[in-house]
Amino acid sequence: MMPICLSLQHVSKGYGAGIARREVLHDVSLDVRRGEMVAIVGYSGSGKSTLVSLLAGLTQPDVGQVLFDGAAVSEPGPERGVVFQNYSLLPWLSALDNVLLAVSQVTPGKSTADRRDRAMHYLELVNLAHAKDRKPAQLSGGMRQRVALARALAMDPQVLLLDEPLGALDALTRGELQKELQQIFLRENKTIVLITNHVDEALMLADRIVPLSPGPSATLGTSVEVALARPRNLAELAHDPTFVQLRAEITQTLVDSKRKAPSSQQRQGISAPKYQPRQLPARSLRRPSALASS
């Protein structure tokens, strides 16, 4: 078995002070093995971004620790690349220059030509070579997210932290990028932590899925292994008994954890993880409304 690469050990994190303090994450523990793709699935507002910020070293836990290769994480580092939901590209730079900027940070001794080759390689990997000279404003949401992914990959991090990277995209573009992400994962063999509120997306991509209960004081549940062969195709998987069973199991865990959550949750208007109902088989185990009515 591969060694543990990234680890959260009994981590708690809250915001505010005194009586205004609100605990977002409580006693969260997670071990991610090298080469593994772990998906963390949770409701909106449950603390998923806080979790990524902790893994990235952008914020520090109040209790517990975050370890990378056994050493405490205290700041962001090039071995942990992050892709956020909102692209975060520099608007005045072309797609190529956005990637080049990242390449320059990790290859200080290389020639300009070498850096450019490397940046182009990653733009090609995300099928964007043709749009290399376009500025972010001239790119669609899906294309911007591809640039953000190319930029993160170009730094050759050991771990990729993907914080709802496809969350801002329409369903069709999302489906396309899920396929590309799968190809990249298979080719690059990276360790990936994917944060998502889509159960199907997690099942399509991950080796293991960990449910995050709704906050406040959200915590990770028992992880579920996704024993489905790759490459995976969501349309085909909709008829696969293992897929259907895993989806029902994970959804039920999330629904149960929401039921058990403090009643203040309902008042905060937290929305449920999204389904892609058109892919449900006719004799699906759960109706989409099961989540909404819980």
Ligand X SMILES: Nc1ncnc2c1ncn2[C@@H]1O[C@H](COP(=O)(O)OP(=O)(O)OP(=O)(O)O)[C@@H](O)[C@H]1O
The residues of the shown chain that bind ligand X, judged by CB under 6 A, are: 15, 24, 42, 44-50, 215
Task: Specify the residue, 35 or 64, whose C-beta has the smaller distance to ligand X.
Answer: 64
Task: Specify the residue, 47 or 165, whose C-beta has the smaller distance to ligand X.
Answer: 47
Biggest CA-to-CA distance, the chain: 59
What is the C-alpha separation between 68 and 56, in angstroms, rounded? 10
**Residue 163 beta carbon to ligand X: minimum distance, rounded to whole angstroms:** 7
**Residue 54 beta carbon to ligand X: minimum distance, rounded to whole angstroms:** 10
CA atoms within 13 A on the CB side of 205: 35
**Residue 292 beta carbon to ligand X: minimum distance, rounded to whole angstroms:** 17
Task: Specify the residue, 15 or 92, whose C-beta has the smaller distance to ligand X.
Answer: 15
**Residue 44 beta carbon to ligand X: minimum distance, rounded to whole angstroms:** 4
**Residue 147 beta carbon to ligand X: minimum distance, rounded to whole angstroms:** 21
- The b-or-e profile of 257-293 (16+ CB within 10 A means b, else e) is bbeebeeebeeeebebbbbbeebbeeeeeeeeeebee
- DSSP per-residue codes, 169-232: S-HHHHHHHHHHHHHHHHHH--EEEEEESBHHHHHHH-SEEEEE--SSSB-B---EE----SS-
Q: Do 246 and 254 contact (CB within 8 A), yes or no?
A: no
User: By three-state DSSP, how is residue 152 classified?
Assistant: helix
**Residue 95 beta carbon to ligand X: minimum distance, rounded to whole angstroms:** 26
Task: Specify the residue, 119 or 254, whose C-beta has the smaller distance to ligand X.
Answer: 254
Task: Specify the residue, 168 or 280, whose C-beta has the smaller distance to ligand X.
Answer: 168
* Of 51, 57, 251, residue with least CA distance to 164: 51
Task: Specify the residue, 9 or 44, whose C-beta has the smaller distance to ligand X.
Answer: 44
